[in-house]
Chains A and B, each alone.
Chain A
């Protein structure tokens, strides 16, 4: 049975608040960013999550309310009836039931819409479906406005109900309105209940506490009860009736002897008789109140008789068997008899409770325990012992006989007999005797590994059957192999085709090689500088002309070291020509070449650079230069250098993070 704390129910939000709560939570706790460009599965799951989350929140909230509020069947019957009277049992149950239904409907809506979103094909559709789903759920929530409002009111009222413990020691004060119940309450406790000279000042149950015999007692003040049928009683009276019906307590029935309350003793007596059934099995004290105005002795005989009848009508099953109820005279004004009433009622109840407890402990509890015990007595123990003893003595005798006949040699004895330690090796397989199917197998060397496989992995009872299956399959497999071979033969090339294709391919290879040779790229490429140098060195030979003819290098021309000797040659040639008076220019073709070559420069100072249009590289060389430049750049790029001069090495540790004063704190606190 769940334990309900009626005082601490969580507040029930109103319908509109609940809608706000749910939507805010969905907005805050689910992702909010989605784009049409996302994968459709992602978009779908985004919206499905929203719908599901909303439903979860609603279920959580409504479920909490339904769980929190006490189920009328589960609480103490007093509370159950009281709540039934105060809040209307049907209304209460309906309200909770409607919340539960709403929760289930939300779940259905969610299930349906999630199913739809699963097949939505665009963000827009998904979104529309989500909006629809949330809208329907919110409508459902809004319809719960009345139930939620009602439950909130109930919660507030429950919180204000007196903290009444049904199982505590209780005195219950009841009687007609205005007979002095609340005044008595104020006298014995510190509850400070409102006392007014009109009927129904007390409209609900009040609880006060007092001490008696170092025990704590609660005194319950009830609203006045009128003498009419149960059905006609109003909510205020019904509370008193409920308390009377369900609380095990001592009842103080107040009778206004002076009749100042406006009801005659006859009427009061009639009320007493009509609700007498509720006092059954309870300790009753009849309190003749307001004795300051009129004493019991002063009453006329008829009235006295009525009081007597009331007393005799009730029988308490007290410790001394059936006892009549007791009457005490009391006056709240003079405080005469107040203590008497209190003491009497308390003592009666206490005696009853003690007796009940004792009865339980002495009788019922012992019976309880006894039922759980079960005793047995083993019989014929003696016989068993005899048999066992006989068997034991026989076995002992047999053992003794064997031991006398031949003492069993120990392993040590065997070792010494067979050459001692180091020579004798124990035959461990002796342990296997009788274990295997055939004793001679015990010395077998069992292979563990064969052909890279564990023999034990193959050991199987059904190995023969498996092998047979394998052989069957094998026949098929061989057929397969043959057919595959046949097919392959079909597709394969004929010998003539094979010869032809081989020839063609050989020819192609040959052609490729020839082409390569023609390109002169067979050897490793010579570095450009080396080539220049060799060409420069060759500048004096007859190849010089061809080198120039190819316009190999304007750069070569420009480099001083290379150009110099040729010009020197030029000058030497000039000198020679000057000396050669015959002037047979054609006799030396090389000389002629040089002259004609240098003729362009004749009118130009040697220290001057060549004209702009001759400067720089020709197109072919430009390409080559670009290639070289790229190649040179490669390594720098790889090392992330800006150029050759970039030799920067960055700091391995970042300075500001690793120097300066450090406290005792962790390093990662920075």
Chain B
């Protein structure tokens, strides 16, 4: 029974990791329709930022790196958007190939400039170990990741629903042409969206340093899962991403508990395919009056 209950925090923490990795994508993919394969590499950029800051901030790098990784990864995103993606709007297949190429280049850059093998980020002492809650083990590093995901989620929700800039972002998301007619500078909004989306990937990277190695291929491990969360949740839907991330996390953790890691992955994929057969548009649909 304890084993069963123990899987609950595990599932929630997998969900939190998925949510962090996918939050940024709900914007760039959801709002702008850009299939950004380099999103995973922005996660990696965040993780390496943490690693670099370690020499300065020591064991507290996982805290100090949060704002830095957000800005650094965000800038990477803006540069990518300004120099390349902007020229490929409305050409999803080309963008896919383009950003995949960019992701390969970024990975190789890290190999050449930093280290071709994985590096470690040392967690602060208060994040090592865990607490026992009535027989259920709660590891501190997972609590940290969970809180981080919650803070990001609330922050994004607040930005989108309570600030003028967020309203403009939603306007562009719902109907680009009409927003442009109403004097919203859509290309400016696109830039900000890309900055925030990529920055969130950077924050996810900081969180992932607590789980495993920081390696050049860190991002590629999560990119597929992140896309799945966005597609299952529905494009551009915060609520959908939240529910999808935790549903996938819990499903994965319980199926793995009853079978094994490889089989769990297969079963989760089959479940997603079945779900998308029934609901190709995802859990939630953006309601808009666009004629598309």
B and A form one assembly = no
Which positions in A face B, CB cutoff 8 Å?
none
Residues in B lying within 8 Å of A, measured CB to CB:
none
